[in-house]
A = this chain, B = another copy of it.
Amino acid sequence: MKTIAVEPGAGEPVVIEKPVPEPAAGEALVRILRVGVDGTDHEVIGGGHGGVPDGEDHLVLGHEAVGVVEDANGTDLEEGTIVVPTVRRPPASGSNDYFERGEPDMAPDGEYVERGIVGDHGFMAEYVTSPAEYLVPIPEELASLGFLVEPISISEKAIEHAYASRSAFDWNPESALVLGNGSLGLLTLAMFEHTLGYERTYCLGRRDRPDLTIDIIENLGATYVDSRETPVSEIPAVHEAMDFVYEATGVAPHAFETIEALAPNGVGALLGVPGSWEFEIDGGDLHREFVLHNKALVGSVNSHRGHFESAIDTLTALPEWFLEELVTGIYDLEDFEAAFENDDTTIKTAVEFSRI
C-alpha cells in the first residue's frame, strides 16, 4: 500500500510503499478516507518538531484522519463504521496512569508517542491499524469532513481547561479574541460564534485584503484585527479588553501580550509551540495586572477521547458555508504534494486515500 512519509532532513514528503498492516488482538484494521494537513505536519517535515519511530529511517505523516473499519478483528467496532483515530499512544515502555485513566493528553514527555508526529507512524496510508479504544465512531454524514474532528478536539480541550480555570466564580464571557487566522484559529473562531455563544469575536492576522481568511472572519460576524496595525497589547484600547483570548500563532510575545489583552477575570488559552525566543517584557506590569485583575493563562496540548466526542457535536453545529470555505483543497494520492502547499490561497487541505 502507499503511505506518505518524511525522511529526516529531506524537507519534503514522499510516497513510500509498505505492506498492509495486520491488526493485532484488540486492534481493528481501518481503511483511510482522508487525512488533513496542519502546521504540525509542516513542522515535522521541516525537522522542527517530532521524530521517527525508534529504529526507523522515516515517519509516516498524518494525525488528522478519518477512515472506515475494514476489519473489526473481534473488537466491539462494526465493519463499515466511520471512525476518527486519536493521536497519542503509550510509549514502547508500556502503558501508564495517563492512558489508564483516559487522559493521555496530560502525559508528560516520554510517557507517550504521537502517531504521525513523534515516535509512531501516522495515518497517511491506505490502511492503518489501531486498538479499538482509540477509534472514535462518527456519523456517516460527517465522513467527508471527519479529518476536522482532531483539530477541533484540540480546541475543545483548550476551551474546557480555560473554562475550568474560571469555574470558581460566576464568569459570563462575552468577548473572545483568536490570535491566528490559520485553520485552527478559524475553526475556533467559528466555535466562539456558533457553539459557545460569544457576543463579540475578533481574529488577529497579518494579511492584506482581499483575503480568503478575512472574508471568512467577517462572514462569521467577527472583526478582523491586523497585527501590523494593532499589536495584541493595544487591542483593549482600539477594540475592547477580551474575556477569552485563544492563542494559535506560536508567536511567543503574543503569549505575554495576552495578559494585557484580557479583561478583568479573563483567561488566555495558549496553544502555540515556539522555539527559543528572547525578548524584553515589563514583567512587573504584567505580574501586577495578572494579580489585581484575577487573570489566568492556561497552556494546552493534544486532546483525549472525550474531546473528540465533543468535536463531533461541534462539527455538526458549524455552518456548512464555513466548512466549505475553510477546506480549500482535497487532493488524491497522485497529487498529494498540492495538499502540502502553504500559500495565502490555502486554508485547510487533506489527502484522499479512498472513498466510502
Q: How far in angstroms is the closest Cβ of chain B from A347?
A: 23
Q: What B residues does A165 contact at CB under 8 A?
A: 161, 164-165, 296, 298
Q: What B residues does A278 contact at CB under 8 A?
A: 280-284
Most chain B CB inside 10 Å of its own CB: which residue of A160, A271, A284: A284
Asked if residues B276 and A279 are in contact (CB atoms below 8 Å), the reply is no
Asked if residues B169 and A106 are in contact (CB atoms below 8 Å), the reply is yes
Looking at chain A, what size class is its interface with the partner chain? 35 or more
Q: Is A54 an interface residue (CB 8 A)?
A: no
Q: Which of B106, B168, B255 contacts A161 (CB 8 A)?
A: B168
Q: Is A294 an interface residue (CB 8 A)?
A: yes
Of A17-25, A66-74, A181-189, A285-293, the stretch lying at the interface with chain B is: A285-293
Q: What B residues does A300 contact at CB under 8 A?
A: 291, 294
Asked if residues B284 and A252 are in contact (CB atoms below 8 Å), the reply is yes
Which residue of chain B has its CB nearest to the CB of A285?
A: B276
Q: Which of B167, B270, B292, B301 contacts A299 (CB 8 A)?
A: B292
Asked if residues B280 and A280 are in contact (CB atoms below 8 Å), the reply is yes
Q: Is A166 an interface residue (CB 8 A)?
A: yes
Q: Is A277 an interface residue (CB 8 A)?
A: yes
Residue-wise, chain A 166-197 has the 8 Å CB interface mask toward B (1 for contact) of 11111000000000000000000000000000
A residues contacting B by CB (< 8 A) are 101, 103, 105-106, 108-109, 160-161, 163-170, 250, 252-253, 255-256, 263-265, 270-301
Q: A255-B287, A292-B299 are in contact. List 13 more A-B contacts (CB 8 A).
A: A161-B165, A161-B294, A163-B168, A164-B166, A252-B283, A252-B287, A271-B291, A272-B287, A277-B284, A294-B298, A294-B300, A296-B298, A296-B299
